[in-house]
Structure 1
């Protein structure tokens, strides 16, 4: 999550949706924000205390955390936005990310299908790096009553276009979107990773995302 009091925006960072690139593009704005140093000091104090002070909005916090913590007039005055991604594609991206950067969390499952079945097993012990990527994306966008409270939902599939649209809403121009964490070990379309069983696992687990965000396994070609 990235909060800018000066530019009055709140970026809700959902894992594996291009958020690292968005944060990298917007992070330099912090130096122009008079609230940066107080926010930085609070963050450092929280870090030094093992986050026992709870003075920092976590990187992948849901928008409801900001709504509950910030004064209502501050929250309502922010332009709140996030990016989402096709759940089937997201799971393939997550698999490659973990295999490349945190292979110890594969649980001995180097095959995508085996890993996905193990990852979605409700009996598996909790592990932050795994469970963050199987939370519903729509949970990041809603308040305690289930109402969507972000103002703009961009899509990973058209990241540059939607990022430019978000910047225009904020009132920013000339912000370049760098490509961070671009995978070099993935060459196949996400659909090639699935069989009927694993397709249905994702369809069931992410049913609400698929319905509310309008995703499908075989998206219609662009016209």
Structure 2
């Protein structure tokens, strides 16, 4: 999550949706923000005291954390945005990311279909790097009553265009959007990774995301 008091925005970073590129492009704004330095100090002191303040929220925090910690008027005044991704494509991206950077979390399942079944098995012990990528994307967008409280939902599938829209909204020139953590070892079309049963497994597990965000397997 990235909060900018000067530019009045809150970026909710959902894993594997292009958020690392968005964060990298916007990160430089913090050096122009006079609030950054006192926020940094408050974050350090709150960490030491054990009394957590919303000056620095975790990288993949959900929007509800900011809503509950920030003053209501201030939260409401922020331009809040996030990016989402087709759930079938996201799981392929997650598989390659884990296989490339954290192969110890594959659980001995080097085949995508086997890994997916194991990953979505409710009997599997919790592991952060696996479970972050199967948390429903809509969980990051809603408050405690289930209402969507972000102002803009960008799409990974049109990342550059939606990022440009966001930059216009917050009043900055659109910076270069780097291709951070882009996989080079995967097929371009995610559909080639799936059989009918594994595609249905994702459809059932991510049913709310698919319905609320309007995604489908065919693109």
Alpha-carbon displacement from aligned partner over 1:91-141 (angstroms, at most 9, x marks no partner): 000000000000000000000000000000000000000000000001100
Gaps of 5+ in 2: none
Moved over 4 A (4+): none
Q: Mapping of 1:192-203 within 5 angstroms?
A: 192-203=192-203
Paired position in structure 2 for 1:159: 159
Superposition map of 1:99-114 within 5 A: 99-114=99-114
Alignment: residue pair count: 217
Measured against aligned partners, the alpha-carbon deviations of 1:17-74 in whole angstroms (never above 9, x if no partner) come to 0000000000000001111112223344566x5x944333100000010000000111
Distance between the aligned counterparts of 2:195 and 2:45, measured in 1? 48
Q: TM-score, structure 2 length as denominator?
A: 0.95
Q: What is the alpha-carbon root mean square deviation over aligned residues?
A: 1.3
Q: Structure 1: where are the runs of 5+ without partners? A: none
1:132-173 Cα shifts (integer Å, max 9, x gaps): 000000110011111110000000000000000011111111
Give the match for residue 90 of structure 1: 90
Residue 124 of structure 2 corresponds to 124
TM-score (norm 1): 0.94
- Aligned to 2:27, the other structure's residue is in SS state helix
2:10 partner SS = strand
Q: Using the alignment, how far apart are the partners of 2:76 and 2:43 within structure 1? A: 23
Q: Helix, strand or coil for the counterpart of 1:179?
A: coil
Q: Equivalent residues in 2 for 1:48-63 (5 A)? A: 49=48, 52-55=50-53, 56-63=56-63
